[in-house]
Chains A and B, each alone.
Chain A
Amino acid sequence: MKKIDDSRIYLIAAVTTLVVGIVLGAIAFYSILHVEPKVEAFLSAKDTISTNYKRAYLILRDPQVFAGYGYFDVEGVSVKNSLTFFDKRVYNGEEIDANRKAYLELLLDRRKKGSVLTRNTMVFFMVLSMVFWALFIQERRSFKQ
C-alpha cells in the first residue's frame, strides 16, 4: 500500500500552533511585565491619589484579551458594578478617593487572572507545536527512508 505523506499537515499545524503560542506569549508577558506593574505603581501612589487612580483606571478599562468585560459570572458582578461606578466618576470629572482602591484592585486582579490564563494557554500551544514538529520530522524521516 502506498504511504501518504502527512508532513505538510504536520507542518501547517506546527506553524499555526507556534504562531498562536508566540502571539499569546506576547500578550501575556506584555501585561505581566509592562501593564500590571504600571497599574500597581499608580495604585500605590501616596499623593494626587485621584489623578493616579484615574490613570490606573484608564489602563484597566482596556481589558486583557482573556479577561474581557463582555461576559460576567456571579463572581464578576462586582467587576461590572465597579466599571459602571468608575465610568461615571471619570466621565463626570469626579474625584476617586482612597476608599475606592479595593475596587480598582478587583479590576487589576481580573487582568492578572487573564494574564495567567493567557500564559498557560501559550504553554499549551507551545507544547502542541512541539508535538507537531516532532511528528513532522518523524514523517519526513520515514518518508525519505
Chain B
Amino acid sequence: MIMKSIKTALIVILGSGLIFIGCAKMPAKLVSPTLKIEPVVKDNKELFKLTLSTGIQNENSDTAFIDMKGLIFFSDAGTHVLTIPFHLPVVLPFDTGIIEAEKTYSESEIMPLVTLFGSDKEKLLNEKVLERSFVDEKNIGFELTGCEKKNILDVLKDKVNEKN
C-alpha cells in the first residue's frame, strides 16, 4: 500500500510540475511602424524611395532570437501589395530589434502601396513625400522565414567564452 501511495504521490507532483513548463513567446506584431515614400530621380529615371522604420519586440525573459529573418508585408484586404525582407542578427530578451529599411521601387511597384495609404502619384509628386506614423495593423504585418531561439544564458556564456 505504501509503495502504491508513493507512486500516486509522485504522479501528482510530476503532473502539477507540467503546468509550469512554458515555451518561448514569438512576436506577433510590429512596434510603431513609420513609413515614408519620396520620389527620387536615379539615372534619369523616376523612382520612389521607401523608408520604413519599425521594431520587433522580444517579450521573453530568457529567450534570445538569433538570426531573425523574415518579410514585412503591406496588405490590402488580405492581398500583399509589397514585401520588404529584413534580418536581425539578435534580439535579446525584453529588447526591441530595430528594423530600418530603405529601398527604391519603380512606379508600378510602389503605386499599390501609395493607393493603400490614400494617395496617388500626382499628390505624391506635388507634396514630395508621403508619410505615415501610424500604420493600421491590418495593413502591415510580418512573417518569419527563419529564427533560432536560444536561451539567453547560453548566448551570454558563449560571448564571454568567445572573448576569453
Contact = CB atoms under 8 A, between A and B. Distances in A.
Q: Is the interface of B mostly helix, strand, loop or mixed?
A: helix
B151 to A, nearest CB: 9
Q: Is the interface of A mostly helix, strand, loop or mixed?
A: helix
Contacts, number: 63
Nearest to A71: B61
Contact of B93 (A11, A16, A54, A87): A87
A11 B2 CA distance: 8
Interface stretch (B44-52, B77-85, B134-142, B153-161): B153-161
B94 A54 contact: no
A84 B59 CA distance: 11
B90 A19 contact: no
Interface in B144-158: 152-153, 155-157
B5 interface: yes
Nearest to B95: A84
Contacts of A87: 92-95, 152, 156
Q: What 6 A-B pairs have minimum CB-CB distances, sorted nearest first?
A: A69-B61, A15-B9, A16-B9, A11-B5, A87-B92, A90-B156
Interface of A: 8, 11-12, 15-16, 19-20, 54, 57-58, 61-63, 68-70, 80, 83-84, 87-88, 90-91, 93
